[in-house]
Structure 1
């Protein structure tokens, strides 16, 4: 108890259940029941190496149990579990029809000192099965304490996407190297440096270690341990905002980062997916607002990487599309800092998907252009080929053009693009607060006034946007994805 009677903060918050991993290889396990549910649990037990005996009771075995028996993985016995030999059982499991049978089975297991599970009757269970991600010897167990099994399955699917299948092979290699590494390297820093390098190799791609990997890795163990850790920078595209649109490779980079330098437009939901221990630093860059200078951002990346940190430069959208990645890559390469790029979904692609629009629909457009709406000085770019952009067979997506929308509209019409050309304006693309406005090129300025200038805006110009109807534009990636939509009056087309 701390001074003043206040409690010292707990190192671990309360747990609904304690996650444990039970070794069953070669141990007898008793199963009662002939159902498909019992068969599924039996298959899990057999996969863990248990010596499973199934007591059918009064019913016939289901096809799944018969298949397991035919494969030599389990033994099946007629009759009830009362006749079973409980003395050596490591676990007991049952699928009981009624409450009385479930209570009797649980009581017998308790009397014999055997942990038991009665399927779908948590009151009679001393342990529970959770959802499993299997990359054995890496095994991830997920429990909702029986409250929401479907949620557990959804969490399992999410984790499945993050762990490459080849991780099982890398984990097996780690087990084979453990004693050798322990003999060669001292505890603490040297071993940690080696295993961090090994972990990076494990997640570097989708393939497992090749035949000579063990020898090569061991040959460099002492060198890796003695060499100062080299920092690196990864430019990661965060996409337009919806965390569901983040790529798996981007997710892995966020999970392994030491420091994350993120833009002002990166959504909090995406930052929540990052490694908890990672230091997060806002280096916001917003048009018309106080922003970090690019030179300062470059210096921060260099300083952190030189200090041995794994730096993620997290950018909204795609780093290579109006993300100033070229300047950052050049600065890092000149300093000899390893740099890589993970692409993200750019706002134009997200908007097209959200409205079910093909930007290159063969009836409307033979090309698509991404064009910046302002120059370094904040005005309309003067080095853009406006005559080419005014091609009616082209779809043009204007980034950062909210404050120059009137000038863009006038310039395109001056170059011959029809005033009735369809346009679509959107702000906060892919986020719950997304807003859209349909109209024509001649009304672009008034549309921008309705959308507003406070949030990131993208607008598209081209005949493909006449294809979106009111029903389609309200569709989204997930329910509740869109909150506001401005529909174009029917006479506008």
Structure 2
């Protein structure tokens, strides 16, 4: 990141404009709103600026630029088409450690202007660091369309009540929960409709309400890897969390979406590696929720598909903790789709069997391989098959599963590092040695469709051994 995003208070700060073209005029009008002291150096200025000068809203120096004009200046905006002059001013401001922006020349900027969405006092700034201004403009337009024009009035009204709320709720976490409830409820709707009396009544009622801050646990499925597959509700919940317990399979892309001040606790589980036990995870969930915190248990895929989500909710229920579940896209669905393999197809497969491949002794690992092997018109999806590859192969083979059945092995599915290997069941064990974890195994006639239906072009090419 080349530019650190920050909001600067320009109240009574001197800002020097060298040049007074259309771009400069737009920025001058904006900075006047910030109560900056505007000084314009230019031989000619537009009628708009002459009017501002007469109204004593800006100062105008009718001359060329001289170095002594930089005295006591906080910011400099250069808007001329004279490249040698622009370079000269840039060098002088650098020497004097004054922030400078040379319009349309990023190499001569120590600060840049973002695209701004203003709903006073709310300001949203968007920037690409000068690399893609058209894209920045498009993003700004999308944000503009989602924020009501008078949204800022909610912030102004809330500001008047902050001291009352602070007296009522001593702890910052309780104040944040209070304001989240306010801004998600009828308060904002009343303000947007101009019903300020009703909005104030909502505030009054909530402040007077008996203070009962209850913790809660949310199980959130993060999906199979691609951050874009996180559900909208999942995103909303993790951005409100006070504490997030996350697994090894949750991508860094999704972890970056968690609120910066939220506590993140890694409780990842990796095969054959020392990791925190399920009992310890349960204790942390209950302990944090009892403190009144919003706790998120963030899991790769879906919480109820080999994610032990049911076990964690049983504990929450026992301790009378409120909970909710936000489903995620499980790997069987997400990874197969990115590999171009439809799990069902009326000409190839009439159903799906999902198996946990790394278990052999627990209930979820005790498979009826004889029955499974007979379902040759079903698609079999096996999670984490590497550790038990010999066992899986031997059981299926012993029950006459077709040795020529197409199979797919997909590593790091839905991510840019996705690797897909297509082969036949006969070669399962040797093919698994080519893969790293996490790997998904798909067996069934539908795998043969991957060659034509594969659409996700990652940097790792698909290998076919059919």
Report the TM-score when normalising by structure 2. Answer: 0.71
- Using the alignment, how far apart are the partners of 2:237 and 2:144 within structure 1? 13
Shift of 1:392: 3.8
Which residue of 156, 170, 174 maps to 1:189? 170
- Using the alignment, how far apart are the partners of 2:109 and 2:51 within structure 1? 21
Shift of 1:221: 1.0
Answer yes or no: is 1:475 the counterpart of 2:457: yes
Matched-pair contact (CA < 8 Å) for 1:302–1:332: yes
Answer yes or no: is 1:178 the counterpart of 2:151: no
Shift of 1:263: 1.8
CA shift in 2, pair 1:232/1:287, >3 Å: same
Answer yes or no: is 1:218 the counterpart of 2:194: no
Shift of 1:301: 0.7
Q: Count matched residues.
A: 432
Q: Which runs of 5+ in 1 are unaligned?
A: 1-13, 51-56, 59-75, 107-114
Who is 2:57 aligned against? 88
Which residue of 225, 229, 232 maps to 2:213? 229
- Using the alignment, how far apart are the partners of 1:232 and 1:164 within structure 2? 33
Q: CA-to-partner distance for each residue in 1:123-178, whole Å, 9 max, x for gaps?
A: 9989742133556542122567xxx3136887898899999936877653242243
- Using the alignment, how far apart are the partners of 1:205 and 1:163 within structure 2? 22
Shift of 1:18: 5.8
- Using the alignment, how far apart are the partners of 1:290 and 1:126 within structure 2? 48
CA shift in 2, pair 1:31/1:218, >3 Å: farther
- Using the alignment, how far apart are the partners of 2:328 and 2:203 within structure 1? 32
Which residue of 275, 294, 314 maps to 2:278? 294
Matched-pair contact (CA < 8 Å) for 1:194–1:221: no
Matched-pair contact (CA < 8 Å) for 2:340–2:453: no
Shift of 1:408: 3.6
Which residue of 392, 407, 410 maps to 1:426? 410
Shift of 1:262: 1.9
Q: CA-to-partner distance for each residue in 1:404-452, whole Å, 9 max, x for gaps?
A: 3344445545666533221111233344554432111222222223325
CA shift in 2, pair 1:326/1:188, >3 Å: closer
Report the TM-score when normalising by structure 1. Answer: 0.67
CA shift in 2, pair 1:312/1:164, >3 Å: farther
Moved more, 161-170 or 278-287: 161-170
- Using the alignment, how far apart are the partners of 1:390 and 1:48 within structure 2? 74
Who is 1:367 aligned against? 351
Q: Which runs of 5+ in 2 are unaligned?
A: 37-42, 60-74, 91-98
CA shift in 2, pair 1:137/1:364, >3 Å: farther
- Using the alignment, how far apart are the partners of 1:49 and 1:391 within structure 2? 75
Who is 1:165 aligned against? 146
Matched-pair contact (CA < 8 Å) for 1:133–1:156: no
Who is 1:261 aligned against? 245
Who is 2:67 aligned against? none
Moved more, 317-326 or 364-373: 364-373
Which residue of 311, 317, 320 maps to 2:301? 317
SS in 1 for 2:249: coil
Map 1:394-433 onto structure 2 (within 5 A).
394-412=378-396, 417-431=401-415, 433=417
Which residue of 241, 250, 255 maps to 1:271? 255
Moved more, 230-239 or 94-103: 94-103
Moved more, 325-334 or 273-282: 273-282
Matched-pair contact (CA < 8 Å) for 1:162–1:252: no
- Using the alignment, how far apart are the partners of 2:144 and 2:185 within structure 1? 11
Moved more, 160-169 or 380-389: 160-169
Matched-pair contact (CA < 8 Å) for 1:354–1:473: yes
Which residue of 426, 429, 439 maps to 1:442? 426
